[in-house]
Each structure stands twice: as structure tokens, then as C-alpha cells.
Amino acid sequence: MRRLLDFPRRLRRANGLPLLKNPRYQPFRGLSIAILAIVSTSALAGAVDPAGLATSRTDLTPKDQARVIAVTRPTADFSKPEAFETMQGGAGTSRRQVDRDAFSQPSENITFEEEGNFKLGNALFRKNWVSSPSSTQASDGLGPLFNERACQNCHLKDGRGRPPSADSRTTSMFLRLARDASTAEEKAEIAGHKVLNFPDPVYGTQLQELAVPGLKGEGRMRVDYGDEMVALGDGTVVSLRKPSYAIDGLGYGPLDPHTTVSPRLTPPMIGLGLIEQIAPADILAHADPDDRDGDGISGKPNIIRDVSSGELTLGRFGWKAQTASIRQQAADAFDGDIGISTPEEPNHWGDCTTAEKACLAMPNGVQKRLGTVEAPSPVMDLVTFYSQNLAVPARRDVGDPAVLAGKKLFYDMGCISCHTPKFVTMRGTRNKAQAFQLVWPYSDFLLHDMGPGLADGQVVGEATGSEWRTPPLWGIGLTKTVNGNSFFLHDGRARTLTEAILWHGGEGQKARDRFAATDAADRDALIKFLESL
């Protein structure tokens, strides 16, 4: 697999072409784009890695491939905006007025009929589920253990969550519970991609703080912060919050001593359908698991087993790239966060374990006239469609000199080694709105070791305890507008974009150090660029 993943890189190196990860691309030389297109679509056509993933795009003609290579090559001209840069979500980009609903707009290129489905999906996304039995049978099934009653209560205004605080009871950050394999059989299951890790034997895969009447919750997350002072090159001192996590009031006994606790902030929902349609080959082309080019960046994919098909596939959603599709991501959230069964996860009692007998004794919300699960296929169809078509807002101030200067610094500091600016989605997508779109997510969707400062110690599939998927940056500048706060990283420890950058370690250390070493004017310009996304 590694040899095949390296092939596009070796092809470019052998012909004097720039590596995809190189933050300072030079003009193509040696081969023309057209010749490169023919090579990449014929010599590689149909090639697959051992996981069964195509290592080349079979959806493009040589002419299309040449266009894709040309348009996704990172720019070296920072004197003006790039073509189509404002439309960072392709033709579906939302150009509506920027306000608190900036992340809740439908893709602008869906049909009138599809917009109706989007609105129905939105209603289900906002729906509060209730405990069984109730008079509103179609809403039955909450819990019995849960974190929230509705999807929207976690993804606030379709944006990011926030860490728990004394003045807010809304839960939008969770504690994932897991342990590594401890026996030969368990290790074989991990190696065979049958499981990602193993749940706590009592509390399952996630701490559920809330419960239906007559049942007690599993406990409550506690976050304590310490201060870590960082001196920058110009003498500026920045205070970073260093969190520590504990669980108060465990309701069903102690955790297993080998269980790790990982906080996860709910991420923004925009652009998910576009991410889903980025060709696996284009993501794999950025992988360099052995760091063969010696640049200190060794992104790798999280190869997982698709729950529905049973086939190995590329994980691209979640903080550890542990989920392959939006539908599965929604099913996992219904199961773990709300306690609702779906065709994909038909667990009527959610994350209740056999050790939580009182939970399993509670009634479920299955209505035979509606199907065999609490959220049947029509519900999942609409919620999935809604999640796939939340539009990315248009860029702002792309021609501002400070933004352009900040963009150049972002490239020069090597940030695009992980935060890949552009992709072109696949042709022939199920929904035409996502087909052959130039998009600007600023992510490679690969796993990177971010160092001990951000490590959670939790293994998820092929992701180690210090590896995280590169999060897309589009929309990041509207976080405060939409959510009224600016909490970043997987656990919201960073209160500003500057703090988020300074937490980068491991593969991000060099870029972080370059940022820290520059003067205030350059730092402000780079932040202004990020705020324009």
C-alpha cells in the first residue's frame, strides 16, 4: 500500500515535477500538464492499493485530468486573488448575508424539489426526541442514556460546539471511551479492520451524562484548566489553556483501568457533501506515511471497514478520520449521542452495555407501523441529504492586501503541507450539486502526529493516540459570528486562532515555530487570512 501511495509522488519527482505537499510550488517542467494527465490516467488507471482503493481517478478523461492538475496546483502569485477563490464551496457556495445563520444555508445549486427535502431534513435535525412511551410516537426512543435530545443541540447553528461551562447546560463536547487490544484475538480484530478499538466494559464507547426518567446518567465531565505561557519571537507572551479531564459521579462503578478518555468537540457541518465526493485517489496522493521526501510531514489515511458494505474504505470524517460517509456519521451520532436506533445502527438502547441492566430494561421507541428501528430509512435519507447540502459561505476580503500577505505567509510557513487548499470533486456523483466542483477546504483529510501536547492517547483504527485528521478550515473565520465563541481544536482549548496554531506540535511543529518567530504584523496578516475563510 505504501509503495502505491508513493507512486504519484515518485512520478512527479522522476519527471522534475513539484510534490503535492511542497509549500513552494514551481512552474511545471519536464512534462507538460497534458502529458502528465495521460500518464496519470493511463499508467495508473485502475490501479488499487491492498485496501481496494483506487490510486488514480477513473472518472476523468485525460483532458479533464489536465484541467484538474492545473487548477488545483497551489498558487505562487499572491498579488491578487485566484480565479473562483471567493466560491470556496464551488457552485453551491452560499452568497447570502453573513449572520448567525451563515452555516445553515442550502447549497445554491440544488433544485427546487431538493430544497424541499433539505427543509424536511432540517426539521428532523432540529427535532427533540422524547423518552418512551409517549403520545408523540414518531418521536419516541430517546436514550435511555443520552447526551442531547436533538442533533442541532450539539451542532449549534450547524457550527462547532463548545467546552462545558458553568453558565451553559448545552452539551456539545463529549468524552469518547476506548481501550486498546489486550489479547491476541483482539489484536487480530484491529489488524483485520473489524473494529476501531474496544469500548469500556461498563460505560461503552462514550460517556452519556443524561438519562430518561427513572434512570441515572453515567457521570459528568469535568474540565480543569492550567495556564501555559508561551513567549513569541518578538517578546509577546501568550497564555495557553492546558486542560485536564475527569469524570465526576460515575453512576455504574469505576472505568476499566485501561480505558482512555478523549474529549471531542462537535465540528461544523458545512461542506460535508463536497468532502464526501473528493476522489480517494486525490487524498491518497498526499499521503507520505514514511516521510520519504524528508519534509517532516508524514500524513497517512485511516483505512476502515465500511459498516454497510463490509468493504475496506477511506475514513474522512471525524476527528480521527474514523468514518467513511455522512450517513454513517449521522447513524453513529443518533446511536451514541441521542440513543436512537437506525438501519445502520439498530441499537434501540443506544450505547447501553450489558453491565447497565437498568438501562436495557427501559422501553424503546420502535413503532411497528413505522419500521423496525426508531429512525427508519426515510428519516436517515432526509437527515443525510440535509447534512450533505449545508453550503460553505463565500470567502470575504479575498483582495485585501493584508489577506493576500497572510495567505503568502500561510503557504511559505508550510501550513499547506497538511491544509491542502484545493480539490476538484468527482464526476458522476449521486447528487449533481457536488459533481466536478472546485472546492477550497484547506485540508488533506489525512492523519498527522500533532505531538504530545494535543495527544489523547486513544487509538482509533490506524490513528495513534497522537494523530488527528487535518480539519478543514473553510468557514473558520465565521465561528464567532455563528456560535458566539471562538473555541478551536478537538477539545476547544484554544480561544483564538493564534492559540490554536501555538498548540501545533509533531508534524506541525516547524510551521508553528515559524509563526511564533515572526513579528506581530505578519502574525496579524496570517490570522486575517484565516478569518477570511
What is the rounded distance in angstroms from the CA atom of residue 262 to the CA atom of residue 90? 34
Residue 18, pLDDT score: 37
What is the rounded distance in angstroms from the CA atom of residue 204 to the CA atom of residue 356? 10
Residue 11, pLDDT score: 33
Q: pLDDT digit string (tens) for 498-531?
A: 999 999 999 999 999 999 999 999 999 999 999 9
Range 111-140 average pLDDT: 93
Taking the chain, what is the end-to-end CA distance rounded to the nearest angstrom? Answer: 34
What pLDDT band is residue 169 in, cutting at 50, 70 and 90? low
Range 262-273 average pLDDT: 97
R_g (Cα) of the chain, nearest Å: 23
Q: pLDDT digit string (tens) for 61-119?
A: 999 999 999 999 999 999 999 999 999 999 999 999 899 999 999 999 999 999 999 99
The percent of residues in the chain predicted with pLDDT above 90, rounded, is 83
Q: pLDDT digit string (tens) for 385-427?
A: 999 999 999 999 999 999 999 999 999 999 999 999 999 999 9
**Cβ distance 468 to 522 under 8 Å?**
no
Q: Which residue has the higher pLDDT, 32 or 139?
A: 139
What is the rounded distance in angstroms from the CA atom of residue 423 to the CA atom of residue 283? 9
Q: How far is CA 233 from each of CA 121, 267, 422, 511, rounded to the nearest angstrom?
A: 49, 32, 31, 14
Per-residue pLDDT at 27 exceeds 60: no
Q: Which residue has the higher pLDDT, 56 or 93?
A: 93
Task: Specify the range with the lowest mean pLDDT, choosing from 55-59, 90-94, 272-276, 420-424.
Answer: 55-59
**Cβ distance 89 to 439 under 8 Å?**
yes
Residue 137, pLDDT score: 77
What pLDDT band is residue 336 in, cutting at 50, 70 and 90? very high
Q: pLDDT digit string (tens) for 465-482?
A: 999 999 999 999 999 999
Residue 49, pLDDT score: 62
Q: Which residue has the higher pLDDT, 38 or 454?
A: 454
Per-residue pLDDT at 457 exceeds 60: yes
Q: pLDDT digit string (tens) for 205-248?
A: 999 999 999 999 999 999 999 999 999 999 999 999 999 999 99
| Length in residues, the chain | 533
Q: pLDDT digit string (tens) for 174-185?
A: 999 999 898 999
Residue 33, pLDDT score: 31
**Cβ distance 418 to 299 under 8 Å?**
yes
Residue 379, pLDDT score: 97
Range 351-366 average pLDDT: 96
- CB neighbours of 6 closer than 8 A, spacing ≥ 6? 288, 290, 292
What pLDDT band is residue 165 in, cutting at 50, 70 and 90? confident
Q: pLDDT digit string (tens) for 429-440?
A: 999 999 999 999
Q: How far is CA 218 from each of CA 207, 247, 301, rounded to the nearest angstrom?
A: 6, 9, 33
Residue 136, pLDDT score: 81
Per-residue pLDDT at 10 exceeds 60: no
Task: Specify the range with the lowest mean pLDDT, choosing from 40-44, 56-60, 313-317.
Answer: 40-44
Range 255-274 average pLDDT: 97
The percent of residues in the chain predicted with pLDDT above 70, rounded, is 89
